[in-house]
Amino acid sequence: MPGLITMDDLTNEEIISILDDAEQLLPVAKGEIFLPLLQGRILGNLFFEPSTRTRMSFETAMKRLGGNVVNLGDVKTSSVVKGETLYDTIQMVDGYTDIIAMRHPRQGAAQYASDSANVPIMNGGDGAGHHPTQTMLDLFTIRRAHGTLEGLNVVLAGDLRYGRTVHSLSHALVRFGCNVTLSSPEALRMPEEIISDLRNQGADVNETDDLLSQIVNADVVYMTRIQKERFPDEDEYHKVAGAYKLHARDLDDAKAEMIIMHPLPRVDEIDSSVDSTRHACYFEQAFNGVVTRMSLMCWLLGVKVPSDVNTMGSEI
């Protein structure tokens, strides 16, 4: 069953169509209108790693559309601790649900699950691999801020080595003709195979460790957390911890419409002084997770989003 494992599973036209449907669904996501497009459907939330936004926004999205959600819950209280394999867990949840959102510490786990499932699997993060549903909400946020996805100057900053959000996002940005600058400490550079993939797609990819010099030309600055849990050695983490910290005073020369994004959670990469600037976009970005995941689930379940939602639903 087609799911969403990497951004390669969607064409540019499909991405745009899902983002257009998400625009339509905004009043439903905000709770202004009730439109039970997914009534009777059940989402299975299988999170084998910590999650706040991804899990809760999937759940909110399904419930806003009139559907239901079953959760694996805390891995420690599930049969995983008894030694159940991922294969067996998926076989079972496949029978309980119509669609599954899954996060797992192992890279490739979502593809593995998808190969043996009958319902669509949505990859909510597989180790340091991919995070395509995050990319969909990131693209939605960028398009709402700039009116387009084409040809923007986007700086991806922080932990580009282990950060799965930037692995998926960089692929998508390049497909829409964005200029991508990769800004990280040397030890956290984007993996070579991803850079060469991006270049093979015709992208002009620049790398630098000097984030601040990139701000003046940027349309988007995408900050990421250093992924402490993925370091094989804690000492290596401490060498790079706190490498980048963005303060409001660093933004004086930024373009007026430049947005600062972050998949969250932040640790110390964005100082709270940035929150009250016109550039801060990360909380809106987190909200956009609901509406984009609503649209994505409709698309994967073959449910058409009406073109004028405002005249369809009932007021709450």
- Report how far apart, in Å, the C-alpha atoms of 136 and of each of 163, 170, 229, 243, 316 are: 16, 12, 24, 27, 28
Site string for ligand NCD, 100-119 (x = CB under 6 A): --------------------
Q: Does the active-site annotation cover 199?
A: no
- Nearer to ligand NCD by Cβ, of 54 and 89: the residue is 54
d(CA 203, CA 173): 9
163 in Cβ contact with 128 (< 8 Å): yes
Among the options 6, 41, 54, 292, which is catalytic?
54
In the beta sheet, which residues pair with residue 121?
100
Work out the number of other CB atoms within 10 angstroms of the CB of residue 186: 8
DSSP, collapsed to helix, strand or coil, labels residue 200 as helix
Among the options 76, 77, 82, 304, which is catalytic?
82
Q: Does the active-site annotation cover 106?
A: no
Min separation Cβ 229 and ligand NCD, Å: 9
**Which of these, 155, 217, 219, lies nearest to 190 by C-alpha position?**
155
280 in Cβ contact with 274 (< 8 Å): yes
3 in Cβ contact with 297 (< 8 Å): no
Q: Is 45 in the site for ligand NCD (CB under 6 A)?
A: no
Among the options 55, 64, 130, 131, which is catalytic?
131
280 in Cβ contact with 2 (< 8 Å): no
Q: Does the active-site annotation cover 277?
A: no
Min separation Cβ 151 and ligand NCD, Å: 26
Min separation Cβ 131 and ligand NCD, Å: 5
Among the options 41, 53, 161, 293, which is catalytic?
53
Q: Is 225 in the site for ligand NCD (CB under 6 A)?
A: yes
Q: Is 54 in the site for ligand NCD (CB under 6 A)?
A: yes
Q: Does the active-site annotation cover 103?
A: yes
Taking the CA atoms of 248, 54, 238 and 186 in sequence, report the sign of the dihedral they define.
Answer: negative
Min separation Cβ 93 and ligand NCD, Å: 20
Tokens 């993925």, located at residue: 230
Q: Is 167 in the site for ligand NCD (CB under 6 A)?
A: no
Site string for ligand NCD, 259-298 (x = CB under 6 A): ----xx----------------------------------
DSSP, collapsed to helix, strand or coil, labels residue 44 as strand
- Kindly determine how many residues on this chain lie close enough to bind ligand NCD according to the rule CB under 6 A: 10
- Nearer to ligand NCD by Cβ, of 214 and 227: the residue is 227
Distance of CA 120 to the CA centre of its chain: 17
- Nearer to ligand NCD by Cβ, of 52 and 118: the residue is 52
Q: Is 161 in the site for ligand NCD (CB under 6 A)?
A: no
Q: Does the active-site annotation cover 161?
A: no
Strands (E), 186-280: 206-208, 220-223, 259-261
Which pair of structure tokens corresponds to residue 260? 């600062």
Q: Is 132 in the site for ligand NCD (CB under 6 A)?
A: no
Checking phi first, is residue 227 left (phi over 0); if not, alpha (psi -120 to 50) or beta? beta
Q: Which of 41, 53, 143, 161 binds ligand NCD (CB under 6 A)?
A: 53
Q: Is 131 in the site for ligand NCD (CB under 6 A)?
A: yes
- Nearer to ligand NCD by Cβ, of 64 and 225: the residue is 225
Residue 164 class from Cβ within 10 Å (0-12 exposed, 13-18 middle, 19+ buried)? buried
Give the residues lining the site for ligand NCD (CB under 6 A): 53-54, 125, 131, 134, 164-165, 225, 263-264
Please list the active-site residues.
Answer: 53-54, 82, 103, 131
